[in-house]
Structure 1
Amino acid sequence: MISDISMIESLMGEISDALDSEVDVYMIGGGAMMYLDSKPGTKDIDLIVRSEDDFHAMISAMKSIGFISIRPGEEYKRMNLSGMYERSDGFRVDIFDTRVCSKLSLSDHMAARAKQVGPDRNARLHVCSPMDILIFKSITEREGDETDCLALMSEHIIDWDEVLSEIRYQISEGEDVWITWIADRMYYFSEKFGSDIPILDDLLGMADRFLDQWEREMEAKAGELGGKDLSKLPPE
């Protein structure tokens, strides 16, 4: 269990010393929430880098200081981790190459909102903003993600217009299936906990449009295949 920010900073110092080049590293998840005073501790550190070269540089540095690759558990299935690494002293690092869940990327807007913490060294650590951590956590299913989302919404001022703008940008840049995940999560928070989510109707509308489009595509594909049962086809 990582119970103090100094433990994270010490680890980043080790990684920095092992790196041969400068890498900008962006932290989401529980570690980032510790820097925001929204969580007392975390069992792992979630890091995102923005290029394949930076990803391989980080992996090489981590391996050189004792980290080994481990297999993610079932709760990480949706996340499509680029890598999960653990060390004998209990440190675990989940690292992503640009995208989380193979769908949602660390955009230029998110990178600009992140704040650098710690000294300026080879591994420059940036903590993502509360709203961006909320977006990432709204599409994952790990233990504690629900509680973390509620904490972020109650303890920080969330610019919901910016959240909606980011979501629309992400959809314009790639696959949009995850809009159904975030819409479902936000609807759940509103219904069960009374969370005030001003953009909820927008999210639900976007999810409905995605599902309508998906149904039309499936119907068209079924027509091309002569009414064949698509449920028996292998996924693309």
Structure 2
Amino acid sequence: MPEARLYRKEDLLSDLGAVGNRLPRKIKVYLIGGCAMSLKDLKEFTKDVDAIFVSISDLKLFEKELLSLGYEKSVSLDVAYEKLGAYSILRHPENAGFDLFDRKVCNMLTLSDGMVHRSSKYGDFGRLELFLLSNEDIALFKGITERPRDIDDIAAIIKSTAAEGRTFDWDAIRSECMVQAEHLKIEGHLYDRFHELFTRYQIRAPLLSWLRKRGIRNLLYESYRIRLEKGMSHENIMREFEGGGFNKSDIKILRGFKKK
């Protein structure tokens, strides 16, 4: 498979327009990642288009038109790309690459109603309606990846938000974590990434302490749930944890799981 190169905003719009002009009906696509940053003038270059669709039929229709334009499905992926969990990854020797997602990214974070509400319409390209996620949601998606360069992008997003005279809305990220609480890995992963953000850029996320506590609670609940599914009673589980060196705060959290 050909490797994706770096492309400017104008290249991305040309490629998106080529697809939109071929579509037989209107579809909506929500852009995240470097491509969204490029269209927001926050990043000069990007190597691919990360696109989320609200329906699998829209995704497959978009994919079909990419294939008709000479794109090929990529079958040789590195570990970082495998973890992104894209439904389809397409590459072209001369155009920007496309990573297509069916609502969910990294098998953790889903395009929610709140994200759709916070997004802004960029424009129409043929029958393609193009939306960009908010700065906060772009940072959130980048916060769940393991790619080193995404920390640089998060820092750039936060700095640009301040330069626009706005305050970065950390509460939007907190609210989204609550909405997507079924995916237990989110808060702990975000804590690690935002802690790295502080270490490298001295940008402190005001929800760091909250993320840490939520991450610990999620890990405790996962351990509790596994034992419960194995047939252990709440009392026996508590005896095991109490004898396992857990602190009083952890034990208090574990006791509360009996009510679930």
TM bin (shorter chain):
0.7 to 0.9
The answer to whether the Cα contact below 8 Å between 2:36 and 2:133 also exists between their aligned partners in 1 is yes
* Matched-pair identity in %: 27
What is the DSSP-based 3-state SS (H/G/I as helix, E as strand, rest coil) of the residue aligned with 1:88? Answer: coil
The answer to whether the Cα contact below 8 Å between 1:76 and 1:141 also exists between their aligned partners in 2 is no
2:132 aligns with one of 127, 130, 141: 127
Q: Counterparts of 2:154 and 2:139 in 1: how far apart (Å)?
A: 6
The answer to whether the Cα contact below 8 Å between 2:143 and 2:150 also exists between their aligned partners in 1 is yes
Q: For this pair of structures, how many residues does the alignment match? A: 222
Instruction: Structure 2: give runs of 5+ residues left out of the alignment.
Output: 162-166, 233-260
- Give the equivalent residue in structure 2 for 1:232: none
Q: Counterparts of 2:173 and 2:132 in 1: how far apart (Å)?
A: 17
Q: Counterparts of 1:27 and 1:57 in 2: how far apart (Å)?
A: 17
Q: Which moved more, 1:212-221 or 1:3-12?
A: 212-221
1:65-110 per-residue CA deviation (whole Å, 9 max, x = no partner) reads 1111002221113211111001121421011011001221111111
- Give the equivalent residue in structure 2 for 1:152: 157
1:200 aligns with one of 202, 208, 214: 208
Q: Counterparts of 2:186 and 2:206 in 1: how far apart (Å)?
A: 19
- Give the equivalent residue in structure 2 for 1:188: 196
Q: Counterparts of 1:159 and 1:202 in 2: how far apart (Å)?
A: 15
CA separation of 1:92 and 1:120: change in aligned 2, threshold 3 A: closer
Q: Counterparts of 2:61 and 2:131 in 1: how far apart (Å)?
A: 17
User: What is the root-mean-square deviation in Å for CA atoms of aligned residues?
Assistant: 1.7
1:113-153 per-residue CA deviation (whole Å, 9 max, x = no partner) reads 11111335311111111100000000012352121111112
1:111 aligns with one of 116, 123, 126: 116
Q: Counterparts of 2:19 and 2:6 in 1: how far apart (Å)?
A: 17
What is the DSSP-based 3-state SS (H/G/I as helix, E as strand, rest coil) of the residue aligned with 1:37? Answer: coil
- Give the equivalent residue in structure 1 for 2:226: 218
1:39-66 per-residue CA deviation (whole Å, 9 max, x = no partner) reads 1100111111111111111111111111
- Give the equivalent residue in structure 1 for 2:33: 29
- Give the equivalent residue in structure 1 for 2:49: 45
What is the DSSP-based 3-state SS (H/G/I as helix, E as strand, rest coil) of the residue aligned with 1:24? Answer: strand
The answer to whether the Cα contact below 8 Å between 1:27 and 1:126 also exists between their aligned partners in 2 is yes
The answer to whether the Cα contact below 8 Å between 2:38 and 2:44 also exists between their aligned partners in 1 is yes
Q: Counterparts of 2:96 and 2:117 in 1: how far apart (Å)?
A: 28
The answer to whether the Cα contact below 8 Å between 2:15 and 2:95 also exists between their aligned partners in 1 is no
What amino acid maps onto 1:12 in structure 2? L
2:174 is the alignment partner of 1:169: no
- Give the equivalent residue in structure 2 for 1:230: none
CA separation of 1:200 and 1:62: change in aligned 2, threshold 3 A: same
Give 1:88-107 correspondences, 5 Å limit: 88-107=93-112
Q: Counterparts of 1:44 and 1:74 in 2: how far apart (Å)?
A: 17
1:19-45 per-residue CA deviation (whole Å, 9 max, x = no partner) reads 111110111011111122221100111
Instruction: Structure 1: give runs of 5+ residues left out of the alignment.
Output: 225-236
Q: Counterparts of 2:224 and 2:70 in 1: how far apart (Å)?
A: 51
Q: Counterparts of 1:3 and 1:85 in 2: how far apart (Å)?
A: 15
What amino acid maps onto 2:98 in structure 1? V
What amino acid maps onto 1:218 in structure 2? I
Q: Deviation of residue 178 (structure 1)?
A: 2.4
Q: Counterparts of 2:7 and 2:65 in 1: how far apart (Å)?
A: 23
TM-score of the superposed pair, with normalisation by structure 1: 0.88
